[in-house]
């Protein structure tokens, strides 16, 4: 696979070819995912739950994120590396710069922030300094205590219009990518059509420009035994992890995943 860049992703959106993203936390899985054709490796703060055993992403530090970003970089074979800014690692503008520098120096090509239109100024200032930003909208796990749990976001016309307006404002501010989590499929389709930048979905239906899943979820691994509605076990019927990752990429590309049973309605 030739190196994936922001231009690559924009071209895929323009051609209508779906983008495959997976979370990744180490060198071996990075190499395996690249061989399967995954275009974006997301070092997600989900590592707090699937690797560290916490009950949320909140205990994860920026040093944890930098460590795993560096590990993924060593195994990467051409994918774009996207790294999460961990909880409270971007509380001030100066802290945001320091945290982004740590992630970019560890090997990230882009950083991901959770929030809404209030991030527009930060996104713009990061872009000016050569740091592309992906903004995570919808169910943002770092705000789980505000939401009162893991709930679908953007239901109802008022909430839907607000999220659509935020997406447009963030694109205008210079966001390079959007990620929608647990959003009704119809709203995700509206947002994807309204912006020129790629939109990646997780629990956001089939009409986003690409899909992402947590690696451990799509391999059927869970500490809790609970499987989110939007997850498909790609290990089922496969002889190896490499085959499961290949099936995931093909299923995203041929649009057989997500299926109707993985979607949320308005």
* Token pair 């922001």: residue: 6
State how far the Cα of 143 lies from the Cα of 87, in Å rounded to an integer. 9
Q: How much is the CA Rg of the chain, to the nearest whole Å?
A: 17
Q: Is 112 annotated as a binding residue?
A: yes
DSSP 114-132: E--GGGHHHHHHHHHTT--
* 84 assigned binding-site residue: yes
Quote the CA–CA distance of 192 and 168 in Å, as a whole number.
10
Query: Known binder of ligand: residue 56?
Result: no
Which one, of 234, 238, 230, lies nearest residue 261 by Cα? 230
| Residue 114 annotated as part of some ligand binding site | yes
The span from the CA of 61 to the CA of 53, in Å, is 14
Q: Is 162 part of any known ligand binding site?
A: no
Helix (H), strand (E) at residue 110: strand 110-114
Number of alpha carbons in the 13 Å side-chain half-sphere of residue 130? 5
| Distance, CA of 137 to CA of 92 (rounded, Å) | 20
Say whether the peptide bond before residue 163 is cis (omega within 30 degrees of 0): no
Say which of 39, 181, 243, 261 is annotated catalytic: 181
261 catalytic residue (yes or no): no
What residues does 19 pair with on adjacent strands? Answer: 210
- Residue ranges for the binding site for Mg(2+)? 45, 84, 114
- Residue ranges for the binding site for 3-methyl-2-oxobutanoate? 45-46, 84, 112
Q: Which residues belong to the active site?
A: 181
- Residue ranges for the binding site? 45-46, 84, 112, 114
């Amino acid at each position: 696979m030739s190196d994936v860049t922001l231009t690559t992703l924009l071209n895929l959106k323009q051609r209508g070819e779906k983008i495959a993203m997976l979370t990744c936390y180490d060198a071996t899985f990075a190499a395996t995912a690249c061989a399967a054709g995954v275009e974006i490796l997301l070092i997600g703060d989900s590592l707090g739950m699937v690797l560290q055993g916490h009950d949320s992403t909140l205990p994860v530090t920026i040093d944890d994120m930098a460590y795993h970003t560096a590990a993924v970089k060593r195994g990467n074979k051409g994918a774009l590396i996207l790294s999460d800014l961990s909880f409270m690692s971007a509380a001030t503008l100066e802290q945001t710069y320091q945290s982004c520098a740590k992630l970019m120096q560890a090997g990230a090509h882009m950083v991901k922030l959770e929030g809404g239109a209030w991030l527009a100024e930060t996104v713009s200032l990061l872009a000016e300094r050569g740091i592309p930003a992906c903004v995570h909208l919808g169910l943002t796990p770092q705000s789980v205590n505000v939401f009162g749990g893991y709930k679908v976001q953007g239901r109802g016309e008022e909430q839907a219009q607000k999220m659509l307006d935020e997406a447009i404002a963030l694109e205008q501010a210079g966001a390079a990518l959007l990620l929608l989590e647990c959003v009704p499929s119809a709203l995700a389709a509206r947002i994807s059509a309204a912006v020129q930048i790629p939109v990646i979905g997780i629990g956001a239906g089939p009409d986003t420009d690409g899909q992402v899943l947590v690696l451990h979820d799509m391999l059927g691994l869970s500490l809790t035994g609970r499987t989110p509605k939007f997850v498909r076990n790609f290990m089922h019927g496969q002889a190896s992890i490499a085959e499961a990752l290949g099936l995931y990429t093909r299923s995203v590309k041929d649009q057989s995943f997500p299926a109707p049973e993985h979607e949320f309605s308005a």
